[in-house]
Amino acid sequence: MTGSIGPDSRRMPDPTLDPLADLLARTALGDRAAFRMLYDTTAPRLFGIAVGLLRRRELAEEALQESFVQIWHRAASYRPGSAQPISWLIAIVRNQALDRLRYAGRRPEDGLPDEDEIADVDGESHPDPLALLEQSVDALQVRTCLDDLQGSPRQCLALAFYRGLSHSELANHLDAPLGSVKVWLRRGLDRLRRCLEALT
Amino acid sequence: MIALPESRLDELAARCALGLMTPRVRRRFLRIAARDPAAFEALARWEETAARMAMAVPEIAPPAAVWRAIDARLAPAAQAAPVRRGWLDWLRPALGFALVMVLAAGLVQMIGPRPMAPNLEQALPASYVGILADASGRARLLVSSQRHGRTLHLKWLSPPEVPPGMQVELWALPAEGDGFRLGILPTSTPAEVAMADTSEALLSRVTRLAVAIRPAASEASAPPVTFDLTGHCAKLW
């Protein structure tokens, strides 16, 4: 799998060295074989991310399908020299999943997402958002710096990123006032920004 | 260009990439990033960070049906002939468009006015006509309306498959200025859609029409990033 977690989170890699960049460029020229290869290479990674956000397999399948139709049409808009191709693809899938989460995926009658629902996906339990954030802080080399961020602010950041919870959903989930959630999220975001800035 | 302090731009980019914006605000920021280099760079940096965080999520193999569905939606593109160079190729799109317009005019005559129309307006042929094609250039939808009418007549040449929770939106794209949503389309054919005003008022400056399949309840004020079908909007008389 290309695009594995690297040591320096802020250094922009050279996307032209990435085989995915070549597949994207050929996709932009209408090369269906390259597009298929791009799908085969990245779909498991992207589907895992969509499932994590949407918590319902059929919605994640729709999001993945729609994302790849977009990727086919928008491949020419990928700019080599900016983010890595896998980062560009992940952004498309996350945005597609977040849209569905807001508009279709989480109707009022569904209530808050149930942590147990995810156990239905392939019969395996999905990692807890806080556990995923733990892995990320190592990958981003911000563990020491982010140690100051504990409790609710850390949980807010994890739930917002890995579960796509909105402010009001976070407030319900954590049984906290909406104002507190906003403060925690801002604190988490500011801390992460400072930690990443310190690396550069 | 926008003139935001670098720290504010960085914060907005972070919120966008980490999923802390509402879809509407996110789309607005993405539009800014598409034309502002500083915003684009900040967003690319944060998308890199977001991707590294997302990498912690375990991979899951999608079912084969997902690729089959993607392949089916893009199937016509796979059948496209290799590009050939020559002066005739330059003329081909124009000739094709002219032919489709002639066919469209015939179709409009067939599906448009009723034989026993109660008034003159309904008996007239359509004034505005659009033929919308998919990415491969295959005509998929015929749209027509009368100059002072408030009804769009639709004929799907090949109706789209609309996933649950999604809707088919028709957008009008003027030569200058923002596009606007004309309405939500049914996939039955032929069909009619009521417009907010007359064709003349809404379409006189519109040069292109486009269809986007988007999540139901998508906001009319937020134009889609991409369209599934596009085509010229021509005024015939």
Full residue range of the structural domain in which residue B166 is found: 91-235
Contact (Cβ atoms closer than 8 angstroms) between residue A39 and residue B70? yes
Instruction: Looking at the structure, tell me whether residues A82 and A154 fall in a common domain.
Output: no
- Best-predicted range by mean pLDDT among A45-54, A103-112, B109-118? A45-54
Task: Evaluate if residue B2 carries a pLDDT over 70.
Answer: no
Write the DSSP symbol of residue B21: S
Q: pLDDT at position B71, please?
A: 92
ipTM at complex level: 0.84
Structure tokens at A106: 């989480």
Instruction: Show which of residues 65-104 on chain B sit within 8 Å of chain A, judged by CB atoms.
Output: 65-67, 69-70, 73-74, 77-78, 80
The neighbour count for residue B141, using CB atoms within 10 Å, is 26
Mean pLDDT of B175-181: 83
Which CATH number goes with the domain that contains A63?
Answer: 1.10.1740.10
**What number of C-beta contacts closer than 8 Å exist between A and B?**
177
Separation in Å, CA B224 to CA A38, A70, A164, B66: 24, 11, 21, 23
Write the DSSP symbol of residue B223: -
Does residue A61 fall inside a structural domain?
Answer: yes
Full residue range of the structural domain in which residue A30 is found: 15-121
Task: Pick the last residue of a domain from A121, A139, A167.
Answer: A121
Q: List, in sequence order, every beta strand (DSSP E) within chain B.
A: 128-133, 139-145, 151-156, 166-174, 180-185, 191-194, 206-215, 229-235
pLDDT by residue (tens digit) across B57-116? 999 999 999 999 999 998 765 444 444 444 445 455 555 556 556 555 555 555 544 443
* Region of poorest pLDDT, from A66-70, B132-136, B189-193: B132-136
- In three state form, how does the secondary structure of B122-182 look? HHCCCCEEEEEECCCCCEEEEEEECCCCCEEEEEECCCCCCCCCEEEEEEEEECCCCCEEE
Instruction: Looking at the structure, tell me whether residues A89 and A139 fall in a common domain.
Output: no
Write the DSSP symbol of residue B115: T
CA dihedral A82, A86, A92, A98 (to 10 degrees): -120
Q: Which residue of A has its CA nearest to B18?
A: A161
Q: Is B193 exposed, middle or buried (0-12, 13-18, 19+ CB in 10 A)?
A: middle
Sheet of B139-145, strand order? B180-185, B166-174, B206-215, B229-235, B128-133, B139-145, B151-156, B191-194
Task: Pick the last residue of a domain from A121, A147, A174.
Answer: A121
Does residue B63 fall inside a structural domain?
Answer: no
Q: Which residues contact B161 (CB under 8 A, 6 or more apart)?
A: B72, B73
Does residue A116 fall inside a structural domain?
Answer: yes
Does residue B224 fall inside a structural domain?
Answer: yes
Instruction: Looking at the structure, tell me whether residues B198 and B150 fall in a common domain.
Output: yes
Contact (Cβ atoms closer than 8 angstroms) between residue A92 and residue A43? no
Expressed in percent and rounded to 5, the helix, strand and coil fractions of chain B are 40, 25, 40
Does residue A193 fall inside a structural domain?
Answer: yes
Which CATH number goes with the domain that contains B162?
Answer: 2.60.40
Task: Evaluate if residue B119 carries a pLDDT over 80.
Answer: no
Please judge whether A103 and B218 are an interchain contact, meaning their C-beta atoms are less than 8 angstroms apart.
yes
Mean pLDDT of B147-176: 86
Does residue A142 fall inside a structural domain?
Answer: yes
Q: pLDDT at position B93, please?
A: 56
pLDDT by residue (tens digit) across A60-94? 999 999 999 999 999 988 887 788 999 999 999 99
pLDDT by residue (tens digit) across A171-196? 999 999 999 999 999 999 988 888 88
Please judge whether A30 and B23 are an interchain contact, meaning their C-beta atoms are less than 8 angstroms apart.
no
Task: Evaluate if residue B36 carries a pLDDT over 70.
Answer: yes
Instruction: Looking at the structure, tell me whether residues B137 and B207 fall in a common domain.
Output: yes
Q: Best of A56, A136, A165, A184 to disrupt the B interface by mutation (most B CBs within 10 Å)?
A: A136
Minimum distance, in Å, between the CA of residue A92 and any CA atom of chain B: 10
Q: Is B232 exposed, middle or buried (0-12, 13-18, 19+ CB in 10 A)?
A: middle
Q: pLDDT at position B231, please?
A: 85
Does residue B222 fall inside a structural domain?
Answer: yes
Q: pLDDT at position B215, please?
A: 84
CA atoms within 13 Å, Cβ hemisphere of A78: 30
Q: pLDDT at position A197, please?
A: 82
Does residue A10 fall inside a structural domain?
Answer: no
Task: Evaluate if residue A38 carries a pLDDT over 90.
Answer: yes
Residues belonging to chain A: 200
Q: Determine contact: A104 vs chain B, CB below 8 A.
A: yes
Does residue B73 fall inside a structural domain?
Answer: no
